[in-house]
Amino acid sequence: MLVALTAVLGVAPQWLRAQQGAAIRARGVPVAGAGGESWPQRPIRIVVPQAAGGTADLLARVLAERLEPILGVALVVDNRVGANGLIGTEAVKHAAPDGHTLLLASTATHAMAPHVTSSGVFDPLRDFAPVINVAWQTKVALSSTAVPATTLAEFVAHVRERPGKLNYASTGVGSSSHLDAELLAAATGMRLVHIPYRGSGQTVAALTTNEVQLLLASVTAAQGAIGAGRARALAVFSQRRSPLLPGVPTIAEAGVPGLDLRTWLGIVAPADTPATIVGALNATIANLLRDTGLRQWLDSQGLEPIGGTPAAFDAAIRADVARWGEAARKVGAATR
């Protein structure tokens, strides 16, 4: 691991020291920037377009903590909240492409938002340089405990006997929770009423008080209500069972194969960021993702590590832009 990172970053061996067998500390990484100067020159800012305390924010802070001793500069997490992630994402679009401003991007910001907003403030393919796809975020289908159903099949049967009578929650029109629920409904023949809320906390509260009967949310956002017996987990949207909910079947095991609603969280930089910097960041984070301690933390947050090259991440974003555009049009949420 140390040899591979040294080769990519060009770090002098005397600048390295083992830390728990995996971490690396450096006083500077001599990667050439656009003007030929070494990088990084100053603190690096990771913009998170979601509120503090959420999964994206926690992931950014864990990455920042582990990258600081490697890059030799401070990494600052900057929460730029608003407009379903558009404010923070646009801020990074306009940042200098020098490797000192990064974005904790997601399927929501880069594959969904371009289809469900009318402002057109950024182009996910043209305005950003993909660095690395960090992790899949596992979602779970939840039902109100007031519904007499203990499995997804029973819940679907209950709803189909009452078309248009039961509700589902989302964090807003065009949000991932909106599109996810509509796609699940279409795949299972359910007719539900959409009730949008202003945040994930409100959606979980609405489910626990039976204002709504269905919610698709991240495992991390839902596990408190599940553990307290105030919500019922029906299925997780992942290829394997979640370590946080080992008794909950995957969506395929629950009888709906092929419905992959996982979303990713990854790092992107402003367009035109030098390839040397993108490559160095990719190699550094890819090595971190091999660390047992980090992988255990990801498991604890309902996340699955991905990794891979910038080119692979670019291909994934392009595929998801097309996929979620089709989904938005299917459910009537597309604005263009």
Q: Contact at 8 Å (CB) between 325 and 267? A: no
- Check pLDDT > 70 for residue 6: no
Average pLDDT over residues 212-240: 93
List of domains in the chain: 2-137+263-330 (3.40.190.150), 139-237 (3.40.190.10)
Give the integer Cα–Cα distance in Å for 32 and 51. Answer: 33
The region of weakest confidence among 92-106, 173-187, 221-235 is: 173-187
Average pLDDT over residues 156-169: 98
- Check pLDDT > 90 for residue 159: yes
pLDDT of amino acid 21: 30
Give the integer Cα–Cα distance in Å for 155 and 14. Answer: 61
- At 275, phi and psi to the nearest 5? -60, -30
pLDDT of amino acid 113: 76
pLDDT of amino acid 96: 96
For the chain, count helices (H), then strands (E): 12, 13
- Check pLDDT > 60 for residue 11: no
Give the integer Cα–Cα distance in Å for 169 and 70. Answer: 42
Average pLDDT over residues 104-120: 80
Give the integer Cα–Cα distance in Å for 323 and 17. Answer: 44
